[in-house]
Every structure is written in structure tokens, then in C-alpha cells.
Structure 1
């Protein structure tokens, strides 16, 4: 990427380089997501369903009242680390690796994690706003990853490698609305696609990345 500021030394970068050359925050986010999926695989179905209901983001719990306080406080973050299966997880983590690495190298690990999680939080509450009475939990890192993708486009526009945001953003939003209405997204199975969360995270990424990027003197 044109804004990837990692120090690269060409073909002979030395023998101490990691086999998986991802910056630390992106790598640990992927490891944490995979670890959560592995642990869930060891649980019985009722226990796993209980975790999804407790730590997934349920819109009706916020709009209808009566939700457990721990769940209400934790779910906007924890839902980002729960996935509908290995394919769902794999798609999100590959996308995170591709787009998150250059963004973390620009922001640094701490700012990147704050940006990533905040994108997921905003994405989740956009879903709540659009589906206030929904009783089914939304899960997955797609909203946060969409924020990272939005940040990539904005930075590409900033450095001049993308002449206009509108065609790419328009197509991306249209695709998400299409799959949200008609289904068929890879990895989603029979679950409803949280298209509003994807779009909310994406728009947040476009608008918010400038506040996280370090200022240059």
C-alpha cells in the first residue's frame, strides 16, 4: 500500500523476520478471534448458545429494557469476537490482515486497536438503530473490519492513489444492501446479514480515521 510506512529492506531483510509478517495488534486480534472460536468448539450446543445470547449484540436488549447489565456493557465489544463458523471467521480475519496491517503501521498498535474496536461499536449500534426490535444477536468482526476498509480507502484517496471515493464506496454499499436483503454472503449460512452494521462501520472508518492518524509536524 502507498501509505504502508513499514521499514522494508528489500529481498535480504535478514533471518530474524517473522514468517507471518503482520504488525502486532492485527496479529493478536486474529489470534484472539481464532482462540475464541476454538474454545466455543469445545462447548456443548446449549453452552455455546448461551454465550452467543449473553455476549452477542441483541438490539431488543437495548431498546426494550430488561437486559442483563453485564451483557449490555460488554456486548458492543464482545460481539466482535464471536463468529457464525470457521468460514465466517476466516473471511473476516483474512480481510483484517490485508487491510489492517497498513493501517496499524500508520497509526501504531494502540491507536489501531482503539480505532478498530470503536468502529465495531459504532457498527453495532447502527444495527441496533436500524433493527431496534430484533431479538436475534448479531455477531462477527465484519463491522470493525468494514471500518478498517473505509480507512484504507480514505488514506488511498489522501495520497492520490484513488481518484474518487464515490464509485468504490457506492458499489461497496450497494453490494452490502443487496446481500442484506437477498442473502447469499459467503460464511453467513442461513443467518441474516447485518448489512447496516457493515455500512455503519464503513462510513465511520471513512470519517474517523483522520482523528486517529498521527499529526505530522
Structure 2
């Protein structure tokens, strides 16, 4: 005989965790916050300046070398198109990027897995730096922030999470289904609205009027470069077997 549950015992309900996000996403957010706290509050002025000089992306250092480019560490031009994502200007900057990383990184990490997620994020950062360089090749000023990588995650999520969720609860959208074709995404109302708002917002920043609605000196070119890369290039990082990643 099959044992019957005791009707006098209370029913135990399991509660979902407060933050149901993949570990790699939480680890990346923690890294961004720790680096920012260390640079702003714990390091000496000399160390903070060294971090900005050698981890930020400086477009002008790839052309006619300015004096500041000659005092960077050897090889800085090789890693800074990726490492600039680790630095942020202030608490609002790192906070907003961490929030969007949590929102859009969660479905992408579940689909790609930890290693592919990190590779995709770094590639998105590089793509953002590339477009920024093409638009500002002679600028000798540090570019910092994870916005290029976050924008790539937004573009990637637009290929599978947004179309299937209708915009509601897309962080819990199924990640084991085939990738949506680009043509299908571009005919999906939710994706179209999201893309339109993304580009309109960055167009506003490009005119200089966006400073009234957010922080100034926004590297909107890096946002666009990351997003376009994430949207068009997501399939290069996608799992061929289409299984859901357990993170």
C-alpha cells in the first residue's frame, strides 16, 4: 500500500530564492562593485590613476600617440578594449550597469552557460569599443563602464527571451528552444518596441540632450556597437544542443 500523507501535518512550501540569477552573473556584478569600491575608496590616488590609465579604453592611443599614451603599461592597447568594462565613474554608473546586467544577463547566462556568457560579454565590450573608436579615433580621454557588454546582453536577449515572453517575465523565459531568426524578431512587436526605445534613447544622448535625463558624457556609440553585435552575433555563442544551462 502507498503511504498516505498525514492530514494533520502542515504543508511545507518551498520559497524561491530572493535573487534567482545564475552564479556567473552575480559574480560579475560583485567584481564590478568590488573594483569600483577599491578604486574610489580603498586605493591611493596613485593607484586609482594607474587603474584609469591602464584599464580604460583610450581611442587616441591607437593613432598619433599623445603623451599620456606613452606612459601606459606595455600591451595596454591589447586588453583595454575589454578591461574598460571593469571601471565606472560613480555609484550611479556601476549601480545602473549592475541592475541591467542582472536583468538581461540572467536569461543569456542560463542559455549560454558560464564560459560562453563571459566570452559573449567580453566580445560585446570589444564591439562597443570598436564602434566608439570608429566614431572618435582621435579622442584622448578614458572610456569606462560595462555598458557595451550590457548592451550586447540586451541584443542577445532580444533573440530568444523577449519574443517568447511578450516582455513580461522574460527573465524566466524558456532558454531550451531554438534561436529565433532575425526576421522573426524584427516582426515581433515586443522586440521592435524594445529596439526602438533603445536606439531612441541613445540618439537622445548623442545630441547632448540626454544629460537632462541621466549622467553626462555617455558613450552611446559603445552602447550601439554592443547591442548590434549582441543581436546579430548571438548565434556564434549559442549552444548547438539548445539545452538549458544549470548555473
What is the TM-score of this pair, normalised by structure 1?
0.84
Shift of 1:177: 2.0
Contact 2:85-2:149 at 8 Å conserved across structures:
yes
**SS at the partner of 1:22?**
coil
Aligned to 2:30: 31
The alignment's C-alpha RMSD in Å is 2.3
Structural mapping, 1:1-217, within 5 Å: 12-13=13-14, 19-40=18-39, 41-65=41-65, 67=70, 68=72, 69-156=74-161, 159=164, 161=166, 163-164=188-189, 165-182=191-208, 183-184=210-211, 188=215, 190=216, 192-216=217-241
What is the TM-score of this pair, normalised by structure 2?
0.74
Post-superposition Cα deviations, 1:60-104, rounded to whole Å, max 9, x if no partner, equal 011224654331122112100000011100000010001101110
Structure 1 unaligned blocks of 5 or more: 1-10
CA distance in 1, matches of 2:55, 2:46: 14
Structure 2 unaligned blocks of 5 or more: 1-11, 167-184, 243-247
CA distance in 2, matches of 1:176, 1:45: 33
Shift of 1:159: 4.1
